[in-house]
Structure 1
Amino acid sequence: MVFAELNIRLNDVGYKNWLKAGYCLLKLRDGLQGFVTNEMRSFHQTLSRNNAVLRRGQRCPNYCKPRGNQLQSACSLCEEWKKEILKHHTNRGGVINWGNCKPWLWPSQHWELAKAYMPHGQADVPGPEKCDAAALLNLINFCDHFSFVNQHKVREVIKSRNELMHSCEMKVSSQWMCQYERKIEDLLLELNHIPEVAAAGRDISEMLSVDWSVQVPGVDSTDGLDYEMLDPTQISQVEAELLRESLQELRFQIEAQGPPAEQDLADLHRLRDFLKSNKDLEDRFQAELLEVETLEYQLKQPGDRETEEQAPEEDTDVPQKKMKIKN
C-alpha cells in the first residue's frame, strides 16, 4: 500500500523529529542560496579590484589543477588567487579543500572561489542551487566576507546539524528538537531582512505546527476524524533527500580516509541496513545501495585502494578538522 511503510516509520517520534529537523535545514538552504550567490559575486569583484595582479584580468595559462587535496606548482596567477583565499579564510590553520576547486576558473567564476571555503565533495557542484545546507553554512562560517553575520549563531546551527546528520539511529529527542528550533530561529532572525530567508522562516514555522502523519486510505481515516496532515508525497521527498545526503556524506568521508574509521563503516552499514529493511526505501535507493556495495568491495581490495590514493587526478581531500559541517 502506497505510503504505508512511511506511516509506520512516522510512528517513531525520534525518527519524526529527525525528519522535521532535516526539513528545517532544507528550507534554510533554499533561503540562503540567493544571498550567498550575491555576496560571493561581490566578494569576487572586490578581490579582483583591490589586488594589482588580479586587476589585470588575466587568465590561467596552464589550467592548473589540484593534486588530490593539494594545490602546488600552480602558475603565478593561481598562486595569487590562492593567497587571497587564504587571507580571507577564518580558519587558516585548518585543512582547505583545494580538491573542490578548478583554479583556472577563479578569475571568471565567483562560485569556484566559494568552493575553497566548503567541505569536501563540492568539485562537481556548479552553484548554490546544488549545495546542501552544510556547504552554504560552511561558506558563511569560513569566509570572512560574511563577518557581518553573527558567527556564533551560524556555528550553533552547524553544531546541531552535525549532531543531526551523524545520529547513527536517525533519531533525536523532543528536548533536543526544542533547542534546535531555537537555534534555527535565531539564525533566521539574524538574516530576516533577506526576503528568501524570511519566506523560509515562515515555511518552517508552518510545517512544524502541523502533524507529520500520513493519510493511508482505509487505515488512517477512522471515526470521521479530520487531522491537519502533510501531503505524504512531500514527507516522502524530504525523507529521501535527507537519507541521500546522509548516505553521500558517509561515502565521501570513507572515501577520503585511508583506512576508513570503524565508526564510519559501522554507520554506513547501519544506514544501508535501514534502507534495505524498508521495501519502499530499498526500491527508491537501488542505485545508491549498489554504490555502497561497490565501495565495500573496493575497501576489501587494499591493493586497488592504494593505487587510487596515489592517482594524481583523484580528489582525495580530507574533511576540515575545526568547526566543520562534514567531519
Structure 2
Amino acid sequence: MDAKLYSHKLSKSTFKNWIKAGLGVLYTKEGIEPFVYDEIEQFQQKCLSDICNNNGLPAGTTCSSCCTENVVICPTDRICNVERGKCSFHRNTATCYLQCGCPNMICHYFKCEIHNAHRFYSPSLKNTDAAHWCSNPWEVAKCFMPPDGYKDATRSEETDFYGINSVIINLKAFQLKVQDDLSKINNIVEKARQVGKAVLHSSYLEVEDGDLQQYFSTLRSLLSDPKYLAGQTYSRNAVKKLSELEGETLVIAIQDIKKLLDDVFNAAEGELRTEKNENKKEAGKQKLELIRITMKSINDFEKQEKMSISDLEKTLQSALDEVEKQTKETIRKKESTNKEHQNKAKDLDTIPSDVELDKIAQAIGRNWELLGPHLGLATTVIDRIKMDYPTSSTRIYRMLFIWRQDKGQKGTKQKLFTAFGKQPSVNIDWNSLGQSFPDDLKHKPRDTRTDKNPGLNAEEQAYKRRKELTVISQSLSRTMMCL
C-alpha cells in the first residue's frame, strides 16, 4: 500500500464529516420517500383508470401476464439491438414483442402512459418488469430511474437516494408539488441528488467542513420545499434530525450507521470490479478495508442500539488507529521484502562459496559437460575431470570449482547462472536453484525441456561426437574380449 495515499484519508474530522454527510443523506431519503411513493402510486392508479375508461374496459381490469419484452418493439434504441438476426433483450418466443398487443388490453397502453409522462420521453424499461405494473407501484417508479442498477429494487427502501430523486425529476407530475423548475439543470432536487452521489462515491470517505455545511443546506432546502414537502410531518422530522446532527446533539441509531456503511461498501465493491486503473483499484481496496474496520468498531456498540456523537468520535478514532497500524505493518513488510530482494540481487554479484557451489552442482544433471564451452573450459579439462572423478556429482562440482578458480574475482553467481541460461540442453533443476537463489530464475531459458536438442555450436558438437565415439569404443572392446 502507498503510505502517502493512506495518510491522505487518516483524518478523524473529515472522516466524521463524511459519516455525518452520509447520515444526512439517509435522513433526507426518509423525509422524501413517502412523498415519492404516494405520487407514484397515484400515477399508477390514474394510468389504470384512464386505460380502462378510454378503452371501454371494466373498472379494475389489470394484467400480470405480459413481461417488459412483450411491450417493447424490437429493435428499440438503447434497449435492444439486433445483431446477426438475434436480440439479447428479446431472447425467445416467450419474450418477443407482441404485435397484437396485450391480451388484456392493458400493458401496451400502460407503456405509452409511462413514455408520455417521462420528462425526456425515454423511460428505463430495462429496469422494470411489466408483469408487476398493475400490482406494484415501484415497478412503475423504476421506469423513471437511471437505466442501470435498479432492476432488483422492488421497494422504495431498496432504492438509493439518487434513484429516488431521479423519479422526482423525470416524472413530470412531480412539478405540481415542487417549487423549483425541475426542467432546469440546477434545481434543488438535482443539487440534492449530486450531494448523495458525492457522499456515496467519495474516494477517500472524507468531507471538508465547508462542503458539509453546503450539503446540509442543500438537503434542508429540499425537505423544506414550500410547495408541498414543508407541510409534511415526515419531512419536518427529517429536518429536525439534520439540525441535531449538524449541531452534534443527535443520538444516532447504530442501524443507521450500518446502513450507510453497507450501502457505500456495496457501491465500492461494484466499482472495483469494473475499474481498470491500478492506482484507483488500490485506492478502492483501501476504501473497502477502512469500511470493514469501521463496521467492526461500530458492532461493539450494537447491543446498546444507539450512540452519541462523542461515542461516534471514539469509534472512528479506533477505526483510524487500526487502519494506521495495518498500513504501517504493510509498509514495513513491503520495505522488508524490497530490501530482501535488493540483498539477493546484490548477492548474485558475489563469488559462490563452497557450500553454495555444492548446492548449485546438485541442481545440474544430464548433459552437464555441455556447460564447458559456456564456462570457458577446454574439452581437455572436461575429459580430465571425467577420468579423475568417478561420479557425476563429483565431476560437476569439480567443473564448477575449476571455473571459479580460473575466473577469480569475476567468477560471480551472476556470470554462472547466465552461462546456464545459454545452454538449455543441460538438465538443470531451476526450481531447486530458485529456492536458494530466487533471482537466478530470470536466467532460466524459455524452453528447458530435456527432450529437445536445439542446434549446437561447433565445440558442443565435438563434445557430443567424442561422447558417442567413447561409447562405440567401449562396446567394441567388450565384443573383442568375448571373442
TM value normalised by structure 1? 0.66
- For residue 116 of structure 2, what is the amino acid of its counterpart? K
What is the correspondence of 1:234-249 to structure 2 with a 5 Å cutoff? 234=252, 236-249=254-267
Paired residue total: 251
Counterpart of 1:325 in structure 2 is none
CA distance in 2, matches of 1:272, 1:261: 17
What is the deviation of 1:170?
A: 0.6
Match of 1:179 among 191, 202, 214: 214
- For residue 164 of structure 1, what is the amino acid of its counterpart? V
- For residue 61 of structure 1, what is the amino acid of its counterpart? S
Structure 1 residues 153 and 89, CA gap change in structure 2 (3 angstroms): same
CA distance in 2, matches of 1:241, 1:27: 11
Residue 271 in structure 1 maps to residue 299 in structure 2: no
CA distance in 2, matches of 1:274, 1:10: 10
Counterpart of 1:112 in structure 2 is 139
Residue 61 in structure 1 maps to residue 99 in structure 2: no
Q: Is the CA contact (8 Å cut-off) linking 1:59 and 1:104 kept in structure 2?
A: yes
Structure 1 residues 104 and 173, CA gap change in structure 2 (3 angstroms): same
Residue 209 in structure 1 maps to residue 250 in structure 2: no
- For residue 193 of structure 1, what is the amino acid of its counterpart? G
Counterpart of 2:461 in structure 1 is none
What is the deviation of 1:168?
A: 0.3
TM value normalised by structure 2? 0.46
What is the deviation of 1:20?
A: 0.9
- For residue 153 of structure 1, what is the amino acid of its counterpart? I
What is the correspondence of 1:224-303 to structure 2 with a 5 Å cutoff? 231=251, 234=252, 236-252=254-270, 260-262=275-277, 265-266=281-282, 268-276=284-292, 280=296
CA distance in 1, matches of 2:109, 2:44: 13
* Deviations, residues 208-263 of structure 1 (Å, cap 9, x unaligned): 2126xxxxxxxxxxxxxxxxxx55xx3653332222112222445566xxx65538
Residue 89 in structure 1 maps to residue 118 in structure 2: yes
What is the deviation of 1:279?
A: 7.8
Structure 1 residues 269 and 53, CA gap change in structure 2 (3 angstroms): farther
CA distance in 2, matches of 1:181, 1:166: 18
- For residue 117 of structure 1, what is the amino acid of its counterpart? F
Q: Is the CA contact (8 Å cut-off) linking 1:102 and 1:112 kept in structure 2?
A: yes
Counterpart of 2:129 in structure 1 is 102
SS in 1 for 2:230: coil
CA distance in 2, matches of 1:21, 1:100: 28
Unaligned stretches of 5+ in structure 2? 1-8, 73-77, 81-88, 91-95, 301-483
Counterpart of 1:138 in structure 2 is 166
What is the deviation of 1:84?
A: 2.1
SS in 2 for 1:147: helix
Counterpart of 1:35 in structure 2 is 35
Q: Is the CA contact (8 Å cut-off) linking 2:133 and 2:139 kept in structure 1?
A: yes
SS in 1 for 2:224: helix
Which protein has the larger Cα radius of gyration, Structure 1 or Structure 2? Answer: 2
- For residue 239 of structure 2, what is the amino acid of its counterpart? G
What is the deviation of 1:189?
A: 1.2
SS in 2 for 1:18: helix
Q: Is the CA contact (8 Å cut-off) linking 2:31 and 2:223 kept in structure 1?
A: no
Q: Is the CA contact (8 Å cut-off) linking 2:14 and 2:208 kept in structure 1?
A: yes
Q: Is the CA contact (8 Å cut-off) linking 1:247 and 1:268 kept in structure 2?
A: no
Counterpart of 2:25 in structure 1 is 25
CA distance in 1, matches of 2:163, 2:14: 26
Residue 157 in structure 1 maps to residue 185 in structure 2: no
Q: Is the CA contact (8 Å cut-off) linking 1:58 and 1:107 kept in structure 2?
A: yes
* Deviations, residues 19-51 of structure 1 (Å, cap 9, x unaligned): 111111111111222212211111112222223
What is the deviation of 1:89?
A: 1.6
Report % sequence identity.
20
CA distance in 1, matches of 2:298, 2:237: 34
Structure 1 residues 276 and 179, CA gap change in structure 2 (3 angstroms): closer
Q: Which segment drifts farther, 144-153 or 114-123?
A: 114-123
Match of 1:192 among 230, 247, 266: 230
Unaligned stretches of 5+ in structure 1? 1-8, 212-229, 285-327
CA distance in 2, matches of 1:147, 1:48: 21
Superposition RMSD in Å:
3.3
Structure 1 residues 45 and 279, CA gap change in structure 2 (3 angstroms): closer
Q: Which segment drifts farther, 133-142 or 63-72?
A: 63-72
